[in-house]
């Protein structure tokens, strides 16, 4: 089966088995020493990417268990028979593949490893199989290995046997988040995109400046290794990196340049050695307006202001919380930079000053009075204040902090039950904007907003319903809120919006439902609320462009026994086969995932799919589909053989 392309550092190459009669490439002692050196060098890796961290630690644990075997071989130095030499040579190749894989998961691009998580998991399985093949039948007695070490290695080998048979799994939440964000170029912007990006950045640990810098270097290395191949995948990786940098307040898009970090103001004299203190730690450009933050570090004013405006409250370099957000000009450093530039004939870029922050004629200083107006006894004053707060809360983290600091959340929650639907719409949208900041999610929840938001979801204006769905999605980033929203009756109106809402409403509803049914009880609630026929309608209406989202929700639901009974029907199986035949590459991939889940639990459904012409389409996808689709197709082919 064709394998998805991994960089050379990630691939676990499949070498042919050495022949027992082949001339030995090294003597016995050197072979054992090389095995020990390989294991010890592999154990040096420890800072693994989060998406592969669990698997890496498992592999390291098994390498640790092999050490006593190798140490006894080194100490006793027995004469190796051809069979023992062959097995140890195979073990050496397995250990080398393990080391390459651990290095890739330690140094590689986090975004690449997330996008290719299933392919990388397949490489782990290949390493386990190599280790198992090498150790299975190892002649421990003739090698004079102690009973204790023999038992330990045989137990480990039994675990490897079980592990290599384990079905590939994926982080469904991560997969859905990536799918929504990567499809955003083809869709109108969704209300929930910022919340999804924040979750992805947190899960991939790409929120802090040093992490984003290291990721840029890793992507540059990946691009060089690919040598122009897999352009679409590379484009996706770069686009995601740009999105993560944007929400962190970093404006930098030169990953494909000849150098990862180019000081733009000095492009024409790259050989000039610039003092490190003159470069902004964020942009690596020479500073024209250096300012000092509360931690004592100096940054270019525009760069650190973008960082703060993105919601960050830590020093980018030191990672320490900032006691205050004041920026003090660093006149001494500015003078040194000017002197140095004059001496070396370097012309600094001149920038126009930033405009004073003011929106709709209302400067930030008006926010306290606007928040107060939300609780006015005059309805017209409340209406105008709700509209202005909605606009201001969208603009910047500083505005949101001022709104919250002046008691804006309780005042807004008090307006959610206002009889005017336009006021409801402006109010719930303001809370959506405020919920971008993690701490505000807790304040909104504790203020009792969720039942009132659900009521607007049921009976509000079209835009009010859309933004209520997006707000529930944002709040459901907190696991405890998933259960609360389900208990308070939030699932049914989301299903109703998915069925009868606007296009934007359907998309916001689907995103919220997916997040909520990560909670097991909410899967049953969604099924009882009619999610299955609603999703069928979404799949049938191809103009929505939501087939993949619908199938991802079906995949989550099919893991629950109660939901499986309603999903596992022959008409649905026929619909899946049709998608595998005629859908987009991503449609086929998602449909195969759902069918594999259903067929693994109810073989009669797979039998029906085979009668409906599945096998012919499986063979085609196994040859030409996406890498993940190929793996799913081959898994189904193996299960299908048992049905004949």
Q: List the structure tokens of 498.
A: 């998915």
Q: What is the model's pLDDT at position 356?
A: 43
| Average pLDDT of the residues of the chain | 83
Q: What is the model's pLDDT at position 14?
A: 42
Q: What is the model's pLDDT at position 256?
A: 43
Q: How far is CA 213 from CA 113, 206, 291, 303, in A?
A: 17, 9, 22, 15
How far is the C-alpha of 334 from the C-alpha of 350, rounded, in Å? 14
Q: Is the pLDDT of residue 183 over 90?
A: no
Q: What is the mean pLDDT of residues 547-558?
A: 92
Q: How far is CA 470 from CA 248, 386, 424, 434, 497, in A?
A: 22, 18, 14, 12, 12
Query: Which residues are paired to 300 by β-bridges?
Result: 290
Q: List the structure tokens of 386.
A: 């709700």
Q: What is the mean pLDDT of residues 385-406?
A: 87
Q: What is the model's pLDDT at position 227?
A: 78
Q: What is the model's pLDDT at position 117?
A: 84
Q: Is the pLDDT of residue 276 over 90?
A: no
Q: Is the pLDDT of residue 340 over 70?
A: yes
φ, ψ (nearest 5 deg) of residue 292? -105, 135
Q: What is the model's pLDDT at position 365?
A: 53
pLDDT digits (tens, 9 = 90+) for 185-216: 544 555 557 778 888 888 898 887 778 888 88
Q: What is the model's pLDDT at position 11?
A: 40
Kindly report the three-state secondary structure assignment for every residue of 228-297.
Answer: CCCHHHHHHHHHHHHHHHHHCCCCCCCCCCCCCCCCHHHCCCCCCCCCHHHECCCCCCECCCEEECCCCC
Q: Is the pLDDT of residue 234 over 50?
A: yes
Q: What is the model's pLDDT at position 22?
A: 53
């Amino acid at each position: 089966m064709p394998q998805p392309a991994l960089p050379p550092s990630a691939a676990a190459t499949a070498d042919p088995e050495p022949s027992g009669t082949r001339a030995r490439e090294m003597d016995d002692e050197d072979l054992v020493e090389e095995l020990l050196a390989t294991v010890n060098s592999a154990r040096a890796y420890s800072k693994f990417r989060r998406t592969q961290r669990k698997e890496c630690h498992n592999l390291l644990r098994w390498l640790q268990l092999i050490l006593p075997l190798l140490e006894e071989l080194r100490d006793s130095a027995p004469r190796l028979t051809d069979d023992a030499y062959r097995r140890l040579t195979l073990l050496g190749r397995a250990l080398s593949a393990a080391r390459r894989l651990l290095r890739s998961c330690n140094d590689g691009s986090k975004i690449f490893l997330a996008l290719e998580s299933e392919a990388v998991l397949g490489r782990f399985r290949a390493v386990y199989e190599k280790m198992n093949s090498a150790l299975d039948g190892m002649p421990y007695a003739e090698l004079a290995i102690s009973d204790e070490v023999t038992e330990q290695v045989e137990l480990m080998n039994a675990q490897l046997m079980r592990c290599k048979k384990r079905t590939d799994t994926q982080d469904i939440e991560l997969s859905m988040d990536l799918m929504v964000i990567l499809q955003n170029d083809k869709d109108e912007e969704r209300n929930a995109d910022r919340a999804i990006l924040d979750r992805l950045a947190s899960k991939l640990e790409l929120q802090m400046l040093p992490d984003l810098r290291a990721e840029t270097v890793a992507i540059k290395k990946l691009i060089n290794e690919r040598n122009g191949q897999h352009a679409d995948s590379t484009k996706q990786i770069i686009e995601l990196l740009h999105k993560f940098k944007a929400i962190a307040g970093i404006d930098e898009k030169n990953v494909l340049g000849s150098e990862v970090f180019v000081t733009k103001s000095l492009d024409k004299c790259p050989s000039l050695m610039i003092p490190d203190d003159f470069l902004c730690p964020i942009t690596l450009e020479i500073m024209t307006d250096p300012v000092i933050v509360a931690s004592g570090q100096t940054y270019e004013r525009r760069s650190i202001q973008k960082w703060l405006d993105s919601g960050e409250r830590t020093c980018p370099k030191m990672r320490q919380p900032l006691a205050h957000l004041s920026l003090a000009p660093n006149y001494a450093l500015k003078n040194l930079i000017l002197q140095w530039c004059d001496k070396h004939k370097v012309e600094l870029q001149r920038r126009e000053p930033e405009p004073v922050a003011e929106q709709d004629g209302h400067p930030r200083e008006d926010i306290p009075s606007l928040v107060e107006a939300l609780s006015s006894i005059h309805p017209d004053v409340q209406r105008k204040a709700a509209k202005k707060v909605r606009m201001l809360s969208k603009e910047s983290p500083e505005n949101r902090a001022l709104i919250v600091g002046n008691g804006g959340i309780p005042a807004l929650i008090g307006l959610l039950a206002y009889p005017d639907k336009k006021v409801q719409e402006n109010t719930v949208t303001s809370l959506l904007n405020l919920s971008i900041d993690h701490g505000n999610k807790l304040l909104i929840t504790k203020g009792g907003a969720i039942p009132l938001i659900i009521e607007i979801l049921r009976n509000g204006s079209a835009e009010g319903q859309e933004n209520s769905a997006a707000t529930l999605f944002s709040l459901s980033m907190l696991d405890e809120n998933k259960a609360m929203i389900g208990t308070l009756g939030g699932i049914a109106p989301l299903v109703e919006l998915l069925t009868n809402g606007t296009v934007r409403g359907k998309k916001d509803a689907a995103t919220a439902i997916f997040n909520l049914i990560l909670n097991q009880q909410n899967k049953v609630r969604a099924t009882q609320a009619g999610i299955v026929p609603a999703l069928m309608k979404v799949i049938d209406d191809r103009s929505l462009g939501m087939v993949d989202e619908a199938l991802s929700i079906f995949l989550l639901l099919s893991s629950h026994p109660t939901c499986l009974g309603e999903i596992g029907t022959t008409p649905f199986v026929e619909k899946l086969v049709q998608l595998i035949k005629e859908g987009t590459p991503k449609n086929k991939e998602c449909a195969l995932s759902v069918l594999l889940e259903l067929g693994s639990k109810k073989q009669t459904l797979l039998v029906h799919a085979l009668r409906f012409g599945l096998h012919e389409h499986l063979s085609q996808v196994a040859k030409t589909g996406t890498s993940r689709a190929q793996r799913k197709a081959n898994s189904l082919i193996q299960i299908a053989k048992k049905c004949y």
